[in-house]
Every structure is written in structure tokens, then in C-alpha cells.
Amino acid sequence: MGFNTALSGIKASADFLSSTGNNIANSDTTGFKKSRVEFGDIYNTSVVGAGSSNTIGSGVRINNVAQEFSSGNIAYTDNNLDLAIDGTGFFVLDVGGTQTYTRAGDFKLDEEGYLVTNDGAYVQGYNATNGIIGGSLENLVVPTERIAPQATENISIEANLDSEAEDMPPYISASFDPSEPDTYTYTQTQNVLDSAGTQHSVTLYYAKSDLPNTYEVYATVDGTLTDSAGTSWLGSTFVTFDEESGNFAPTYSGATAPGVGSIGTLTPFTLAGSFASGATLSSTYDPAVANTLTTPASYARRSFDPTNPETYTYGNTNTVYDALGERHTIGYYFIKQGEQNTWEMKVTVDGEVNDSNGNPFLTEDTVVTFDSEGNISGTYIGYPPFAVANPTQLSITGWDPTDPFAPLDIDLGATTQYALTSSDVFGQDGYAAGELQGVGFDEDGYLTATYTNQQTAILGQIALATFDNTDGLTPAGNTAWVASSSSGAANIGKPGTGTFGSIQGGALEESNVDLTSELVALIEAQRNYQANSKTLETENTVTQTIINLR
């Protein structure tokens, strides 16, 4: 029996040596888990309870080779597809229809875009459709086709417009010319008789002045501005609108100068002059007619030129995309008005103020107003007394050559008017076509693609597995394991939930082998082997002595 005891010790020591050597050999293997040999002694008894309890053992045997699933150190890499698990979970693989589990996350994409291991096993997860994660476990795949363009539909401009900027009233003093509609706002025409009974056509012109809410009145008779003596039919006459009370307050000079009153109660003003025939003309007009004015069609407006900063207070340009993914430059400009807390807004596309039909992209006289605290209070069309609240969101059409009716909505968001330098933050929801540029994983295991057009897309989510008894897993090679009756079935879920753990992208879990400890164990295994060999040698010597007895 001594030979058997010694042989069992030699075998156990050899296995101990092999296990330690295997640990040392895999000290640099990603995701490797070291093994530990567990020994048990051997006793032979013929009948339970029979004989002395102080029996001599019969040697040693290996009860188990256990793997230690403690986590290895995390090593960071430059590969986005290298993954490490911070937790107790395992990656789920498909090997020819069989599920295996690993902690080694050194993955790559094959020629078809599937996420695989170095030996070709498919990494399992939940693929996404239009960014929505599915519920079925399947091979994770990265679509390699380009992403289609998306036309811009919405832009956001969160600006601060400097409240201390110099006013730039929209109207400038311009030489009145009845043949130039841009020099007046509104006209009135009626026929009158002179002192000789001859009929004449008298036209009044209301021209917006450079003063807020003020209109200058001009008159022509039969198309002429002066009578036969060269005197203006109507002297300098102004009508001022009080936007708070709703009253006109006309002030006159040159012609008759009546008092001031509310609409309908004003004393009419009179124009007068003479003709070459000697006949005279005197015609009286009620300023209450100004109440019929609507949004002005034209007037002496200050010119706007997006290439000339002198024509606006603040402006900026950014990029939008049409349905084909072509880039267009949208410009937005703000002009501080004479009216308090009021700014006119202009929009250009590719440097043009008007669309292909000659119409302004943004309705003429679109103004933005702010309250006394500097917060945006609304947008309007026109100026007092013509301002009308804009009932809809600011929007332009005619900017997209592929679709002239495509709207582009403008959200001024949290635009403010503070005593700070004018600036803005721009956003838009369109993009050009893009090629796949790279993929990566976040801590929750979401597989995200990035494209050359700066867009990103969620392609899926990697799966993880846990077990009721991790120690019961059976090694399957390639640092993978399969479930067993001892480990129980895999509990499969998503990173960031339960005890599955989280994902670290661009990182790998190193072997959990402590090389120093293994070298010490190697010395122990060697000594054990030598000692058991000595036992065998001694047993042989004793036996030989007995044989030599004669």
C-alpha cells in the first residue's frame, strides 16, 4: 500500500504542477480565470464503524479543480469594440447554435458586419430598428450602408440681442416722389371742383417718417405737387399715432392748423392754391380717414444688405440641408428699431433675401418684441399702428430647391434682450448623407454608430448573463464556459440592470492570475512532487530489503 500512497501523491503533485503551469501560461490571456486544485485524503475501511478509528490513510486524490471567478484588472485599449464588464455578468456567445459565456471582450466585426470573437463566435444582443431596441436575443450586427439625408425642418435660434445697441429705425427720410411707391405708405384720391367749376383729381399721400408712429402727408393736384405759383398745395403736415390711447394727434404747419382730438372729432385740414387760369382751389380733408390704413405695402424703408453690417444690428449664418442633403446657408439678422424693445428680423438663404418668385423668405416687417425684463414677448407683422400679432410660429418656404413648399420653422426659444453683447446658439435637425465612421458601446451596452455627417444612431444593445452558481460553469475553451446542472440556466438581461454589471468600452479584463503567487505555488508543487518521489524511493528500498532476506 505504501507504493500506492506514494503514487497518489506523485499524481496529485503532478496535477498541482499542471494546474499552476496552466495558470502561469495564461497569465496574459484576456478574461482567463485561474484554477485551483482541491485535494482530499483517502481512507479504506471494510465496514462502516468497524475497527479502529485511527486507520492509516491510503494517499491523496483530487476532489475538484475549481476556477476562481474574481475579476481581473481592467486594461484600456484604443479599440472601441474591446469591452470589459464591471460586475458579475458574462458576454453571451453563439457557437454553432450553442450558447457559451465569456468574460473576454476582444470583439471585432466580420465581413458581414456581425460582432464576433476572434474564433468566429457570434456575440449576442438585441438589435434595434429605427433606434428602438428589440426584445429578441440575436446576433448583434452593424449595418454598413450609408445613412440617408434628412431635410432640415426646424431651426432654433436662442439669441441675446444687446439692449444697449444703437437704434436703427426702419424708416428713413426720403425725397417724396408720387411716382415712386416706395416713398409713401398709403394714398387717397378724390375729384374736386375749383372756383371756376373745373374738376381736378386730388391725391393725399401718407409717408412714414423717421419718427416712431409718425406719418407725413403730401398732396398732388392733377399729379403736380405745386400750384401755378410754385407753392406746395399742402404745407408740412404730420399725423402722429398714439399707440397707447388709439388717438391720432395731427400737427400742421403751412396749411390750416386745427386742434388735436380723437379720430372722427378732428378739425379737418385744408389744402389751397391757384391755377394759371386764375381759378382757385380749396379742399378740406378729415384726418379720420387715416383709420382706414392697413399694413403698409411700401414706404421709404431703410435698405437691408446682408453683406453690409451697417444695415443691421446683429446677424449670423449657419447651415441647413435640403431633401437631397445639399448644404444651404441660412442667415438671420436683427435690426433694433426706434420703438422700445422692438427688433425687425430678416432671413436670407444662400445670401438671397428673396425666393425664386421674388418674395421675401420671411414676411416683410416681421418684428420681435421683448418685455420690460428682457424676455421675448412675441412676434408681429408690421409696426404700430399697423402691427398685427403673428398667430403662428415663424416659418419660411421656398428655400429648398427640391421642394418649394417645404416649410422651415424658426423657433426663437429663450431669446433675450439683455445688456450683453449680442450672440446666439443655433440648432437644426437636418443632415447630409453619411458613411459609417465608427461604432462603440456605452456603459449600458448600447451599440452606437457614428457617421461622417456627425450623426449617431443606436444599432442595438449587448446582452449579459449571470448564474445562480458561477462556480458550476464548465470550461469550454477559448476562455468560454457553458452552463451545467450545477451552475443552473443562464439569467440573460441587459447591462446596467440587476447584477449584470456595466460595460466599459475600449477596455479589456486581464487574467486574474497573480503571477507571484503562482510562482510560489510552482515551487510548492515541485517540492511536493520531489517529496512523494522520495516516499516511493524509500518504499522501494524497504521492499528490496525484505526481498533480500533469505
Instruction: Report pLDDT digits (tens) over 256-310.
Output: 333 332 333 333 556 666 666 666 666 665 554 443 333 333 334 567 899 999 8
| CA distances for 546 relative to 208, 227, 277, 540, 549, angstroms | 136, 159, 168, 10, 5
Phi-psi region of 130 (alpha: psi -120 to 50; beta: other; left: phi over 0): left
C-alpha cell at 474: 464548465
Using only C-alpha atoms, what is the Rg of the chain?
Answer: 46
- By CB atoms closer than 10 A (0-12, 13-18, 19+), residue 128 is middle
The predicted structure's pLDDT at residue 165: 92
Phi, psi of 377 (to 5 degrees): -115, -15
Residue 189, classed as helix, strand or coil, is: strand
Taking the whole predicted model, whether its pTM rises above 0.75 is answered as no
Least confident range from 126-140, 246-260, 380-394: namely: 246-260
> Which of 38, 145, 78 has the alpha carbon at shortest distance from 457?
145
Residue 160, classed as helix, strand or coil, is: strand
Residue entry with cell 419718427: 211
For the chain, the 3-state helix, strand and coil shares in percent, each to the nearest 5, are: 15, 40, 50
Average predicted confidence (pLDDT) for the chain:
82
| Pairing status of strand 480-482 against strand 474-477 | antiparallel
**What is the distance between the alpha carbons of residues 166 and 337, in angstroms, rounded to a whole number?**
9
- By CB atoms closer than 10 A (0-12, 13-18, 19+), residue 388 is exposed
For the segment 183-210, the average pLDDT, to the nearest whole number, is 79
Amino acid found at 20:
T
Confidence of residue 242 (pLDDT cuts 50, 70, 90): low
Least confident range from 174-183, 233-242, 262-271, 471-480: namely: 262-271
**What is the distance between the alpha carbons of residues 73 and 107, in angstroms, rounded to a whole number?**
18
The predicted structure's pLDDT at residue 459: 96
For the segment 518-528, the average pLDDT, to the nearest whole number, is 83
Do residues 254 and 247 lie in contact, with contact meaning Cβ atoms separated by under 8 Å? Answer: no
pLDDT digits (tens, 9 = 90+) for 101-151: 999 999 999 999 999 999 999 999 999 998 899 999 999 999 988 999 999
CATH superfamily of 154-168+302-428: Flagellar hook protein FlgE (2.60.98.20)
More confident residue, 501 or 522: 501
> What are the residues whose beta carbons fall under 8 Å from the beta carbon of 526, sequence distance 6 or more?
17
**What is the distance between the alpha carbons of residues 126 and 141, in angstroms, rounded to a whole number?**
9
Do residues 238 and 289 lie in contact, with contact meaning Cβ atoms separated by under 8 Å? Answer: no
Residue 321, classed as helix, strand or coil, is: strand
Count other Cβ atoms within 10 Å, centred on residue 521.
Answer: 21
The predicted structure's pLDDT at residue 149: 96
| pLDDT exceeds 90 at position 329 | yes
Three-state secondary structure along 439-457? EEECCCCEEEEEECCCCEE
Three-state secondary structure along 387-415? CEECCCCEEECCCCCCCCCCCEEEECCCC
The predicted structure's pLDDT at residue 203: 86
C-alpha cell at 503: 460595460
**What is the distance between the alpha carbons of residues 319 and 351, in angstroms, rounded to a whole number?**
12
Residue spans in the chain of domains classed CATH 2.60.98.20: 154-168+302-428
C-alpha cell at 270: 385744408
> Which of 21, 26, 22, 88 has the alpha carbon at shortest distance from 510?
26
The predicted structure's pLDDT at residue 224: 87
**What is the distance between the alpha carbons of residues 31 and 8, in angstroms, rounded to a whole number?**
33
Residue 532, classed as helix, strand or coil, is: helix
Of the spans 201-205, 235-239, 490-494, which averages the highest pLDDT? 490-494
Chain Cα centroid distance, residue 223: 61
| Pairing status of strand 408-411 against strand 154-160 | parallel
The predicted structure's pLDDT at residue 297: 37
The predicted structure's pLDDT at residue 106: 96
Least confident range from 71-75, 191-195, 390-394, 445-449: namely: 390-394
**What is the distance between the alpha carbons of residues 501 and 87, in angstroms, rounded to a whole number?**
4
Phi, psi of 38 (to 5 degrees): -110, 120
Amino acid found at 208:
K
- The answer to whether the peptide bond before residue 391 is cis (omega within 30 degrees of 0) is no
pLDDT digits (tens, 9 = 90+) for 49-84: 555 566 677 677 778 888 899 999 999 999 999 999
Least confident range from 178-182, 342-346, 348-352, 534-538: namely: 534-538
**What is the distance between the alpha carbons of residues 61 and 7, in angstroms, rounded to a whole number?**
10
| pLDDT exceeds 70 at position 493 | yes
CB-side exposure of 466: number of CA atoms within 13 Å?
16
| CA distances for 169 relative to 54, 302, 339, angstroms | 113, 8, 8
For the segment 493-504, the average pLDDT, to the nearest whole number, is 94
Do residues 80 and 439 lie in contact, with contact meaning Cβ atoms separated by under 8 Å? Answer: yes
Q: Does domain 181-292 have CATH number 2.60.98?
A: yes
| pLDDT exceeds 60 at position 351 | yes
Least confident range from 196-210, 262-276, 304-318: namely: 262-276
C-alpha cell at 174: 426720403
Confidence of residue 210 (pLDDT cuts 50, 70, 90): low
**What is the distance between the alpha carbons of residues 133 and 77, in angstroms, rounded to a whole number?**
27
Instruction: Give the rounded percent of residues in the chain with a pLDDT score beyond 70.
Output: 79
| pLDDT exceeds 90 at position 432 | yes
| pLDDT exceeds 90 at position 481 | yes
100-19-483 Cα angle (round to 5): 20
The predicted structure's pLDDT at residue 154: 97
The predicted structure's pLDDT at residue 317: 97
Can you give the length of the chain in residues?
550
| pLDDT exceeds 70 at position 25 | yes
Phi, psi of 224 (to 5 degrees): -110, 150
Of the spans 193-202, 211-220, 381-390, 433-442, which averages the highest pLDDT? 433-442
